[in-house]
Structure 1
């Protein structure tokens, strides 16, 4: 255990102002959390070692949530306002057309200049009552004919969105369960203390320390996979720094293998910075709400970028973490050709190694399922056709309402507003739930899942170390 290298991830009253002012605008992933190093924090906070909410960040977080809610309500409020204006216009037109004496001000103004211009009240043979009755009949029949299609598309859109959200939650639960099983299996096998042998020389001591560091790095890669998967689903770059607003614990950063650290830096350089992402946040959010493309299409990705050796830089950090994890398992089992001295040969038995590889394959499968949800939008033709049906319904509903309730304008507006808001509200929440990996309040709380994975990593590792100490 490297307790000296472990930094407590807490927030103190002295460091809140600097941490918030320097980091709130630089990281769009978790704006309500500030991370600072505080040696005087309470024991409860040190035991949890999770990001604590900052009071200064709460107003800004509330403002951001209000803006997101306003953006979601705008999808339903705008067509509702248009429907209300259309209904009001129809009511006034119907009242004017059915009045006993039409407005006389144009006639008086014209007849004052030219006496030949005079329209008698009986010269108008147009039956406005019949016209409004025919218009009401046609609008009602069209709405009745399209109600079945609208209901089917409404059910399909809402059910598909809810199914995507629930499937994403179930697959992330599978990631949590598989990671927990892999951590438990490797910790019990590598840190159980059954084969603890006292070193007889300095070389043996150094070899044991190197082996222990390799084991710690292998275990730290498991929760790091969940962290990198979250950032991959959100198409954001991951920065390993405990002094900034980050969800990665400092002790986990210290235990990561160098290959993961290098891959993280390359991944961060190949993705636009947080400030550049914030500039296009509104455009990205609007396109995501339409659900017409994957988040990876919205940001320029350096697919052709190459490192100093001419190799292509991988931008999938979660896949890189799985590759490094399997390489570590191969080395612990003795299948790596890079360990000539045999220091780490035989640390992992064949049954445990086979089971561990199966769990790594399961993590790869779960990642593929999550990518399928992210990269498979609802067909654009369905969304467009549903929008046309809603527009037709919005145009015809005020006609039917104005024909029957033109003498009660508030009731007409209330009925039109409620029905239109409910229809467009379903479309709005379906578009929101169809992308469950975003930053909205309705999206999956991935930050909590990542914090739970890191906490379980620390608890399992601590329990195995205590058992090894007692056995020794």
Structure 2
């Protein structure tokens, strides 16, 4: 009994009468409360009538004029053919050849654009990972030793991590400088960005922010505020942020070659101009067939152009604003936590509430 008492006091001082409840047996009310707080992520269900949507993500606004032009072209020649019966029909080989080439080009165009879109999303996830790791290391591994100034510096360093993501958002959209409502307040504690001070010109504000973070990490190591392992992890995370920035630049500044886009549009134009002459035998249905072909081909080409640069303000671009707000909220919650979490304050896990079982674990070698 004395030995069990010693184990009990050593392992978290739980009263004998206390029986921890298993984490698998939460009360129904608690389970519902947790579910309400969670952000629900689910696939769309039900019928959304998206086929009638002409704005807010649709490309109809971009293509309806050329679609109408090609339809009018088909209507003019169809009426002429039906009224005069002049021999203006083309041999099938022409459209067959163009269809093969056009199909290959559209597939390549769409796949290339979506690959860029998906890589951009993956890079934002990588940026999130490095930002979370870096903020955690700053908050829990840098020893402020109760010094208010050092604690304030930790707040400032976490702000710079958030500022890096926000600065990337503006930088990728071609918005230079830092005088933005969601960015300036994250940098104002740094002398270079204080109001009324001289602001050094920089073409890449995110890169400038990494310089200030690197300077802070160097001082924390020099003053012994962080151990060598945590300091090395901070540099790795900071390098990860820089790698993400360089990859973002590769997507933004290396678009699909303009010659390819021009050639694709030209082939679509030739195809739609010649299509009515191939299908005159269908009668006035040739007008509707040309309309459908123009709507499909021009729409696919427009989608490729829409997602080629996923960092803009279009409905089909990545939600950079939402990403930055989510990261900012996470960092704000982090900074509300104490800078040290003591595991000695833990109570017994539910699975070890039986002291006999706990004793057997403790005696293992």
Q: Report the TM-score range of the alignment, normalised by the length of the smaller protein.
A: 0.7 to 0.9
Mapped partners of 1:364, 1:263: distance in 2: 29
Unaligned runs of 5+ in 1: 1-47, 49-64, 99-127, 198-207, 267-306, 308-312, 335-344
Verify the 8 A CA contact 1:263 1:317 in the aligned structure 2. no
- The alignment of Structure 1 onto Structure 2 pairs a total of residues equal to 293
Partner of 2:246, secondary structure, is helix
Note the alpha carbon deviations across 1:415-470, whole angstroms, 9 max, x for none: 111111110001111001001000011100001110111111111121234748x9
Q: CA RMSD in A?
A: 2.8
Tell me: CA distance 1:459–1:366, structure 2 relative to 1, closer, same or farther (3 Å): same
Query: What is the aligned partner in structure 1 of residue 106 from structure 2?
Result: 154
Verify the 8 A CA contact 1:247 1:451 in the aligned structure 2. no
Query: What is the aligned partner in structure 2 of residue 419 from structure 1?
Result: 293
Mapped partners of 1:263, 1:448: distance in 2: 31
Unaligned runs of 5+ in 2: 1-36, 38-52, 346-365
Deviation at 1:92, TM superposition (A): 1.6
Query: What is the aligned partner in structure 1 of residue 333 from structure 2?
Result: 459
Mapped partners of 1:148, 1:462: distance in 2: 61
Note the alpha carbon deviations across 1:260-316, whole angstroms, 9 max, x for none: 4479984xxxxxxxxxxxxxxxxxxxxxxxxxxxxxxxxxxxxxxxx6xxxxx2121
Verify the 8 A CA contact 1:162 1:433 in the aligned structure 2. yes
Note the alpha carbon deviations across 1:51-97, whole angstroms, 9 max, x for none: xxxxxxxxxxxxxx988868x43542222112111111112211221
> Taking CA–CA contacts closer than 8 Å with sequence separation of 6 or more, which of the two structures ends up with the larger relative contact order?
2
Matched, 1:366 2:244: yes
Query: What is the aligned partner in structure 2 of residue 317 from structure 1?
Result: 205
Matched, 1:399 2:353: no
Note the alpha carbon deviations across 1:28-60, whole angstroms, 9 max, x for none: xxxxxxxxxxxxxxxxxxxx9xxxxxxxxxxxx
TM-score normalised by structure 1 residue count: 0.57
Verify the 8 A CA contact 2:116 2:251 in the aligned structure 1. yes
Tell me: CA distance 1:439–1:264, structure 2 relative to 1, closer, same or farther (3 Å): farther
Matched, 1:326 2:231: no
Query: What is the aligned partner in structure 1 of residue 168 from structure 2?
Result: 229
Verify the 8 A CA contact 2:71 2:287 in the aligned structure 1. yes
Verify the 8 A CA contact 1:161 1:433 in the aligned structure 2. yes
Tell me: CA distance 1:375–1:263, structure 2 relative to 1, closer, same or farther (3 Å): farther
Mapped partners of 2:250, 2:69: distance in 1: 37
Mapped partners of 1:228, 1:390: distance in 2: 39
Matched, 1:85 2:24: no
Mapped partners of 1:447, 1:461: distance in 2: 21
Mapped partners of 1:398, 1:373: distance in 2: 39
Deviation at 1:153, TM superposition (A): 0.5
Verify the 8 A CA contact 1:218 1:257 in the aligned structure 2. no
Verify the 8 A CA contact 2:166 2:324 in the aligned structure 1. yes
Mapped partners of 1:95, 1:419: distance in 2: 21
Deviation at 1:155, TM superposition (A): 0.5
Query: What is the aligned partner in structure 2 of residue 356 from structure 1?
Result: 234
Deviation at 1:190, TM superposition (A): 2.2
Mapped partners of 1:247, 1:162: distance in 2: 29
Matched, 1:177 2:129: yes
Query: What is the aligned partner in structure 2 of residue 136 from structure 1?
Result: 90
Mapped partners of 1:400, 1:253: distance in 2: 64
Deviation at 1:247, TM superposition (A): 2.9
Query: What is the aligned partner in structure 2 of residue 294 from structure 1?
Result: none
Deviation at 1:235, TM superposition (A): 1.1
Query: What is the aligned partner in structure 1 of residue 157 from structure 2?
Result: 218
Query: What is the aligned partner in structure 2 of residue 247 from structure 1?
Result: 182
Verify the 8 A CA contact 2:78 2:287 in the aligned structure 1. no
Verify the 8 A CA contact 1:240 1:253 in the aligned structure 2. no
Mapped partners of 1:383, 1:211: distance in 2: 54
Tell me: CA distance 1:159–1:144, structure 2 relative to 1, closer, same or farther (3 Å): same
**Correspondence for 1:189 among 141, 163, 171:** 141
Mapped partners of 2:109, 2:272: distance in 1: 18
Query: What is the aligned partner in structure 2 of residue 389 from structure 1?
Result: 267
